[in-house]
Structure 1
Amino acid sequence: MALTRRLSSNTAALFISAFFFLLSAHAQKPSSTVADTPLILKHVTVVDVRTGTLERDQTLIIDHNRIVSIGPGKSAKFPSSAAIIDCSGLFAIPGLWDMHVHLAFGDWFPGAKDISLPLFIANGVTGVRDMGSELDVIQNWRSELASGRLIGPRIYTSGPMLDGPKPRFPSSVAIATPDDARRAVADLKRRGADFIKLQSLIPRDAVFAIADEAKKQQIPFEGHVPDSVRASEMSEAGMKSFEHLIGIFEGSSPAEDEFLKGNKTEARFLAGYDPARATSLAATLAKNQTWQCPTLVWERGGNLIDVTDFAKDTRAKYVPTSWKTKTWKRFTDEITQGYGNDDLTVRKKFLDKELEVVHLLHEKGVPFLAGTDTPPGVYIFPGFSLHDELQRLVAAGFTPLEALQTGTLNPAR
């Protein structure tokens, strides 16, 4: 049986969340937690995320926190002293990756080490792409993870983000000139960053200096399509991934040049959307295999923040008060002020249009990654919200298998 049939979003959500069961060899765990007794998981259905094949009634043998055997239950051999768990009705998938997080975002999210990292593991997220943090802090955490002193996911990080002369966020490097850009790229490569993260306010000439220097330094550059540059230009320049669909609506409108000057609103995006231009842009992105990480759950949360009562969300108990009353409030105030003339009806239409555009890009061969922007995304919960993101991708027309691939197989590519 293959997991490729298109399902309703409710059915897909049931598969993704209610039957989710993490069985992964990739989480990094303290050596003190390694059990001497093997753990046997019997009667589990294993999902092959490459093909969607469901291998039923399998037995997984875990020894010293590593899966050492997967096979039919009847032929499985294990010591009589092993601990056995009946997993009838449960599914096993590889560990998930959240491909857009911020772990050490200045001092905006205190305690993230003790909050975000365990929540990722508890939700089956065994790898993250950190899109902007204090590099020294993350490198220390990675050392603790590698030595077995810390529980958490594998971390792939950019270190601080590159932004314009006056960055809006912590964990940023101010870039005003092409020379600034080249120095920053070379410095981050020297310090051990895995890739370069671009923010929105970088001047146009500095953007292309980043692209050129990144190629010389042999380090990927990813992130926001800067306000001064077209999405098609960034794809042709070799940008590896775009975040939040930034540049997509601009590039799908005859008013793209005006959008580059500012005055971007969702109402204007909707009014100017041209399917032919969107299809042309999709062809460019597909040709260059420019990954999209749309953070749809973040988009929905931001657009509906004024009509959503998150106090009723049971996941809020895992988030410290300081995040809710300070940092999330800061983002909430900024988001609601930015609504301008975009009333709730417009914002809901825009969310629907985003799903339509994601479907178009996917249909045309543009590759996708699952990411959440946790925790700067207001009311985005570490780990939990990646499950929500997979559901949003299904709502955009992905099959359940394709959605799972955005958080498993695709990050590995």
Structure 2
Amino acid sequence: MKKISAAIFLYFITIASINAQQKVDLIISNAKIIDVFSGKISNEQWVVVDKGRILKVGQLKEMKAYKPQQTISAKGKFVMPALWDMHVHFGGGDSLIQENKDLLNLYTAMGITAVRDAAADITPSVLEWREAVNKGKILGPTIFTSGPKLEGYKSIWVGDIEVGTMEEVKKALDSLDKMKVDFVKITDNTIKPEIYLGSIQEARKRGYKTSAHIPPVFTIEQVSEAGLSSIEHITYLLRAGLKNQKELSEQVAQGTLTARDLSIKALNEFDEATAEKAFKILAKNNTAITPTLSISYATAFLDVNDHQNDEFLKYIGPGLRKTYDWRVQRAAKDSKEAIEIRHRTIEKAASLLPLLQRSGVKILAGTDAGYLNSFDYPGLGLHQELELMVKNGLTPLQALQASIINGPAFLGKSADYGSVSAGKKADILLLNENPLQNITSTQRIYGLVSHGTYLDSVKLKSLLVLK
């Protein structure tokens, strides 16, 4: 009887223990977790995911308290936060809305769970997708969008909000307030210099981060001191190396020097010590740089590379592929001298990455992928961007930080993203190889947790649909 009683007692204790377990959505077991802040790897880690967030990270002995609906073995796998692309575009007109929406699958398939949309001409649809993703109604990356960007009168870009007075700037920002945009984008095609600076300052007053191209009438330091949050495209930074940058910018404003001649001077007369002083001002003012190397290399070397047989091209809709023609045809008209200049420009600009890193400037990993930007593929482009960063002097860890750490930080989202740790949102990338040793390993994807839902490699590959 005593033996039976003991057995019954143990049985009920076991049942009570099982019933006391907390039910959770997912556990990733036995993972090698990469800390993207430090580059350290923690072995034999278990990650508990529930309701779209990471509930706990710990050893096996700590997992007895949880009862998962799904367990994923990550033995031998490297686990880190999923990737962010900090410069993309959705656009090309209403007839291309579905083709643009299909790009969401490409980002997910390539391990990207957040994108920063830097303006185009189908904002209502982008806002709908942003909400649908946030509510779990459609699969795709979290979208942070600027909505339509600010420009001057008669902008060459469709969908811009055209402004010519500060009153119009305020009304434009009122409209962006109603859209609940995540930041404000400004470009330099036709906007008046004083309205450009005023737009930055007014947007910052309202609490927005600002992202912009740099008009040739201003120095790099001037736009940073005005409060610009991020410079889009690293080629602008060549001007920072001109010893007489301010004088030359004034000549452009007076019409005695063309913007093209300014760019050529910046390429030929670049001084590293002068640039370093300017970059330290960017760092002091928290002005980030999004290099967008992938689009710059693709377009600069169109004379060398034939992209017609690119494997990823088959996943791009025919309408979006057609928009690529604009840059291709424009590049084909360049003279031999112009081709040589565009090659040298991107090579020189890309070489600035280590100097920017040493100067403390935050580098954001972004591609400029989307419509118009020839052979810069949504999803794949970010992996190529990371490769180019490493090729041009960053370490694999620094390249990963540009996406995973600096992306969320720029948008004020570090509390939710940036590490595989308790409390963070469950956007987690599982890799077959260590990307700290070889950055191309970001493409060796074993699986992805996207907003708390696990997608294995088979599911991810199914998102790559031929067009």
Q: What TM-score do you get using the length of structure 1 for normalisation?
A: 0.83
Q: Check whether the contact 2:24–2:67 (CA below 8 A) recurs between aligned residues.
A: no
d(CA) in 2 for partners of 1:178, 1:339: 41
Q: Check whether the contact 1:161–1:172 (CA below 8 A) recurs between aligned residues.
A: yes
Q: Aligned to 1:197, what secondary structure does the other structure show?
A: strand
Q: Check whether the contact 1:394–1:403 (CA below 8 A) recurs between aligned residues.
A: yes
- What is the CA-CA distance between 1:401 and the residue it aligns to? 1.4
The correspondence for 1:312, drawn from 309, 314, 320, is 309
Q: Check whether the contact 1:239–1:290 (CA below 8 A) recurs between aligned residues.
A: yes
Q: Which amino acid aligns with 1:95?
A: A
What is residue 102 of structure 1 aligned with on the other side? 89
Q: Check whether the contact 1:230–1:247 (CA below 8 A) recurs between aligned residues.
A: no
Q: Which amino acid aligns with 1:147?
A: K
With 90-99 and 260-269 compared, the bigger mean Cα shift is at 260-269
What is residue 362 of structure 2 aligned with on the other side? 367
Q: Aligned to 2:81, what secondary structure does the other structure show?
A: coil
What is residue 420 of structure 2 aligned with on the other side? none
What is residue 407 of structure 1 aligned with on the other side? 403
d(CA) in 2 for partners of 1:39, 1:141: 26
What is residue 126 of structure 1 aligned with on the other side? 113
d(CA) in 2 for partners of 1:312, 1:43: 40
Q: Check whether the contact 1:250–1:259 (CA below 8 A) recurs between aligned residues.
A: no
What is residue 344 of structure 2 aligned with on the other side? 349
**Deviations 1:54-98 (CA, angstroms, capped at 9, x unpaired):** 112223344555543332346543878855444333211112111
Answering whether residue 151 of structure 2 is matched by residue 166 of structure 1, we say no
The correspondence for 1:138, drawn from 107, 120, 126, is 126
With 76-85 and 64-73 compared, the bigger mean Cα shift is at 76-85
With 203-212 and 290-299 compared, the bigger mean Cα shift is at 203-212
Answering whether residue 268 of structure 2 is matched by residue 271 of structure 1, we say yes
Q: Which amino acid aligns with 2:303?
A: D
d(CA) in 2 for partners of 1:225, 1:186: 24
d(CA) in 1 for partners of 2:317, 2:205: 43
Q: Which amino acid aligns with 2:324?
A: W
Query: CA 1:370/1:109 → structure 2, altered by over 3 Å: closer, same or farther?
Result: farther
Query: CA 1:148/1:84 → structure 2, altered by over 3 Å: closer, same or farther?
Result: closer
Q: Aligned to 2:133, what secondary structure does the other structure show?
A: helix
**Deviations 1:98-155 (CA, angstroms, capped at 9, x unpaired):** 1101124534844244321111111111111111033322222222223321111111
CA RMSD of aligned residues (A): 2.6
Q: Check whether the contact 1:198–1:226 (CA below 8 A) recurs between aligned residues.
A: no
d(CA) in 2 for partners of 1:55, 1:77: 20
Query: CA 1:76/1:334 → structure 2, altered by over 3 Å: closer, same or farther?
Result: same
Q: How does 1:266-305 map to 2 (within 5 A)?
A: 267-305=264-302
What is residue 221 of structure 2 aligned with on the other side? 232
What is residue 462 of structure 2 aligned with on the other side? none
Query: CA 1:263/1:218 → structure 2, altered by over 3 Å: closer, same or farther?
Result: closer
**Deviations 1:353-377 (CA, angstroms, capped at 9, x unpaired):** 1222222121111111000011132
Q: Check whether the contact 2:92–2:320 (CA below 8 A) recurs between aligned residues.
A: no
Answering whether residue 169 of structure 2 is matched by residue 181 of structure 1, we say yes
Q: Aligned to 2:114, what secondary structure does the other structure show?
A: strand
Q: How does 1:6-155 map to 2 (within 5 A)?
A: 38-63=25-50, 66-73=53-60, 75-77=62-64, 83-107=70-94, 109-133=96-120, 134-155=122-143
What is residue 216 of structure 1 aligned with on the other side? 205
Q: Which amino acid aligns with 1:302?
A: T
d(CA) in 2 for partners of 1:267, 1:237: 26
**Deviations 1:304-337 (CA, angstroms, capped at 9, x unpaired):** 122212223211121112222x201122223444
d(CA) in 2 for partners of 1:341, 1:179: 44
d(CA) in 2 for partners of 1:67, 1:186: 37
Query: CA 1:287/1:105 → structure 2, altered by over 3 Å: closer, same or farther?
Result: farther
- Give the unaligned 5+ runs of structure 1: 1-35
Q: Check whether the contact 2:112–2:141 (CA below 8 A) recurs between aligned residues.
A: yes
Q: Check whether the contact 2:92–2:323 (CA below 8 A) recurs between aligned residues.
A: no
Structure with the greater alpha carbon radius of gyration: 2
d(CA) in 2 for partners of 1:278, 1:351: 16
Q: Which amino acid aligns with 1:352?
A: E
Query: CA 1:203/1:46 → structure 2, altered by over 3 Å: closer, same or farther?
Result: same
- What is the CA-CA distance between 1:338 and the residue it aligns to? 5.6
Q: Check whether the contact 2:32–2:76 (CA below 8 A) recurs between aligned residues.
A: yes
d(CA) in 1 for partners of 2:72, 2:143: 30
- What is the CA-CA distance between 1:404 and the residue it aligns to? 0.8
Query: CA 1:141/1:110 → structure 2, altered by over 3 Å: closer, same or farther?
Result: closer
What is residue 8 of structure 2 aligned with on the other side? none
Query: CA 1:190/1:411 → structure 2, altered by over 3 Å: closer, same or farther?
Result: same
Q: Check whether the contact 2:351–2:392 (CA below 8 A) recurs between aligned residues.
A: yes
- What is the CA-CA distance between 1:48 and the residue it aligns to? 0.9
Q: Which amino acid aligns with 2:352?
A: V
